[in-house]
């Protein structure tokens, strides 16, 4: 716990123990909404989130650090669970899927192949909003607002070092980092949000990375 901001380690990576590997982290903001960073390699993330009594419909963004199996293959399971919730009449808003730009086409094709019709009107109906994060100017940034909308910030430099704007629940910033061998497009993420008392809370997460 970081005041009323909660970070839940849904699991930790381990190449040697497949039964216990679940590389995902959940950040819960003061308003009860979530950002999920990485999705593990299958439905083990959903099982762990259910065990932690997490309301999936409050997930506003999913950030994948890179496209490797143990970090990204759980994404279709999470989207499927959200689609089932929507079909059952639960309130599911837009879910922003933030992935490295170089991996966007392949990861979306994976989801479309494993979950045909994911964006059909009777499933997510366009609620899955895909972003290819390209930190060509060092940082890429998405701001989540309290009215349920979100905005990709074009001029990131103008926001760095400043407090979150009025109505902004959280900002999600990604930056390119080095995965090492084998080379693959990889990003770290910094999530900034406010505690209930208005003070800032910043959380930085990366997966399988070293100094760039």
CA angle 83, 73, 107 (to 5 degrees): 80
Adjacent-strand bridge partners of 16: none
Adjacent-strand bridge partners of 201: 193
Q: What is the pTM of this model?
A: 0.92
What is d(CA 41, CA 153) in angstroms, rounded to the nearest whole number?
30
What is d(CA 159, CA 168) in angstroms, rounded to the nearest whole number?
12
Q: What is the pLDDT of residue 212?
A: 47
* Beta strand ranges found along the chain (DSSP E): 6-11, 24-28, 34-37, 59-63, 95-100, 128-133, 140-145, 150-152, 168-177, 186-194, 200-205
What is d(CA 189, CA 140) in angstroms, rounded to the nearest whole number?
9
pLDDT in tens, the chain (212 residues): 566 899 988 876 655 566 666 778 999 999 999 999 999 888 888 888 988 899 999 999 999 999 988 899 999 999 999 999 999 999 999 999 999 999 999 999 999 999 888 878 878 888 999 999 987 767 899 999 999 999 999 888 777 777 899 999 999 999 988 887 778 899 999 999 999 898 999 999 988 776 54
């Amino acid at each position: 716990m970081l005041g009323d901001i909660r970070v839940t380690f849904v699991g930790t990576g381990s190449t040697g123990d497949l039964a216990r590997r679940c590389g995902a982290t959940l950040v819960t903001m003061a308003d009860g909404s979530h950002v999920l960073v990485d999705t593990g390699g299958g439905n083990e993330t959903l099982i762990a989130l259910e065990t932690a009594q997490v309301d999936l419909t409050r997930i506003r963004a999913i950030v994948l650090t890179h496209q490797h199996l143990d970090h990204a293959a759980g994404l279709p399971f999470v989207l499927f669970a959200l689609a089932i919730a929507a079909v059952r009449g639960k309130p599911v808003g837009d879910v922003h899927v933030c992935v490295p730009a170089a991996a966007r086409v392949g990861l979306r094709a994976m989801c479309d192949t494993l979950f045909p019709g994911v964006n059909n009107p009777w499933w997510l109906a366009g609620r899955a909003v895909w972003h290819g994060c390209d930190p060509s100017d060092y940082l890429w940034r998405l701001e989540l607002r309290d009215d349920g909308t979100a905005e990709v910030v074009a001029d990131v430099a103008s926001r760095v070092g400043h407090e979150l704007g009025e109505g902004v629940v959280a900002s999600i910033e990604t930056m390119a980092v080095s995965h090492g061998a084998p080379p693959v497009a990889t990003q770290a993420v910094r999530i900034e949000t406010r505690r209930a008392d208005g003070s800032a809370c910043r959380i930085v997460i990366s997966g399988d990375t070293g100094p760039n």
